[in-house]
Amino acid sequence: MECTGENFSLGNHTALMEFILIGFSDVPKLQGFLFGLILIIYVFILVGNSLVIMITKVDTSLQTPMYFFLRNFSLLEICYVSVTVPRLLTDLCRKYENISFLACAIQMYFFLVLGDTECFILTAMAYDRYVAICNPLLYPVIMNDMLCMQLAVVCWTTAIPIHTTFISVVFSSTFCGCNQLNHFFCDAPPVVQLICGDAFVVEMLLCMISALVASIPSFLIVGSYVKIVSTILKLPSATGRAKAFSTCFSHLTVVTLFFGSGIIVYFKSTTSRSTGVDKFLSLFYTILIPMLNPIIYCLRNKDVKVALEKLLQKCIEL
């Protein structure tokens, strides 16, 4: 496939002005199937997470810190998938599509910011479970409305300055040579690979940010669950232990899926990177996990199921 697109001469190189998102054009027989599948998943994500937001907002029995963070998480998932999926669906209808530097930078920025925000909100949810299980008597005092709001603001805003700097560094670099981006959206690793000359500084910056965003939340989550498991095992009642574990299961499942797939993609070495494999791995953590979240939280949570049944009954009565 030849490299095409708008560019201009810069010394001995041809500097690029835009990228071409190859997406899944290298598997044309799958494009129709992928379009239908991804469209169904996207609609399910929007509807499922919107229902979670509505239920946790309307039902008075769910006005607790746990569901406050779940509501934030569901809103985040809607925003997160909407950064990449609408563009992907459009591109699946054609062979491949040009994307300007500005559009690419905006997409990458919001994808990275929202992805990091997801890590932080999952960490806040782990802290909430830690306080609820390890300090149940002080839970209403510690997890008050003010602290919950402060944690939410920190989660939503922390990544903004980090990635404002990173995006500025990446897109102030010179891109030259082939302008084909072998991905279905402007993710950081494939874009950095197209930087002219020595991209060592940018790659190290990406690794540092990825390591910090992955390691600090992971450390805090693991630390929280070490304390949680230790406390649960000391409970005298088997029923109490089972109930305590069940309140953590959904969160642990989402954490494992999200962090696991993200780490595989972002921490594989550049030399061993397989863009084809990475594209399908990226589909997993950008689309499939957000689809699983409302299923995991609703099916494993009796309170949410009861609230959903009440809402459906009200809708039927109307």
The answer to whether the CB of 131 falls within 8 A of the CB of 142 is yes
9, burial (CB in 10 Å: exposed 0-12, middle 13-18, buried 19+)? exposed
pLDDT bracket for residue 11 (50, 70, 90): very low
pTM: 0.87
Q: What tokens does 279 get?
A: 């594209």
- Calculate the alpha carbon distances from 250 to 244, 300, 316 in Å: 12, 7, 29
Q: Is the pLDDT of residue 9 over 50?
A: no
Say how far residue 282 (Cα) sits from the centre of its chain. 10
Q: What is the pLDDT of residue 206?
A: 86
Q: Round the CA-based radius of gyration of the chain to a whole number and report it.
A: 22
- Over residues 119-138, the mean pLDDT reads 92
The answer to whether the CB of 270 falls within 8 A of the CB of 23 is no
| DSSP at 199 | -
Q: What is the pLDDT of residue 266?
A: 63
What is the signed CA dihedral for 97, 98, 103, 109, rounded to 10 degrees?
Answer: 70
Q: Domains in the chain and their CATH numbers?
A: 16-317 (1.20.1070.10)
Question: Taking all residues of the chain, what is their mean pLDDT, rounded to a whole number?
Answer: 83
Q: What is the pLDDT of residue 122?
A: 92
Taking the CB of residue 295, how many other CB atoms lie within 10 A of it?
12
Q: What is the pLDDT of residue 286?
A: 84
Q: Is the pLDDT of residue 38 over 50?
A: yes
Half-sphere exposure of 101 (CA within 13 A, CB side): 17
pLDDT bracket for residue 58 (50, 70, 90): confident
Separation CA 273–CA 263 (nearest Å): 13
Q: What is the pLDDT of residues 260-286, one digit of tens each?
A: 776 776 665 444 555 566 677 778 778
Q: What is the pLDDT of residue 113?
A: 96
Taking the CB of residue 160, how many other CB atoms lie within 10 A of it?
13
Separation CA 46–CA 38 (nearest Å): 12
**Minimal CA–CA distance to 277: which of 290, 260, 264?**
264
**Minimal CA–CA distance to 103: which of 177, 186, 16?**
186
What is the signed CA dihedral for 252, 82, 99, 173, rounded to 10 degrees?
Answer: -50
Instruction: Supply the DSSP string of 239-289, one letter for each residue.
Output: HHHHHHHHHHHHHHHHHHHHHHHHHHHHHS-GGG--HHHHHHHHHIIIIIH
Q: Is the pLDDT of residue 97 over 60?
A: yes
Q: Which H or E run includes 130? A: helix 101-134
Q: Is the pLDDT of residue 243 over 70?
A: yes
Q: Is the pLDDT of residue 12 over 50?
A: no
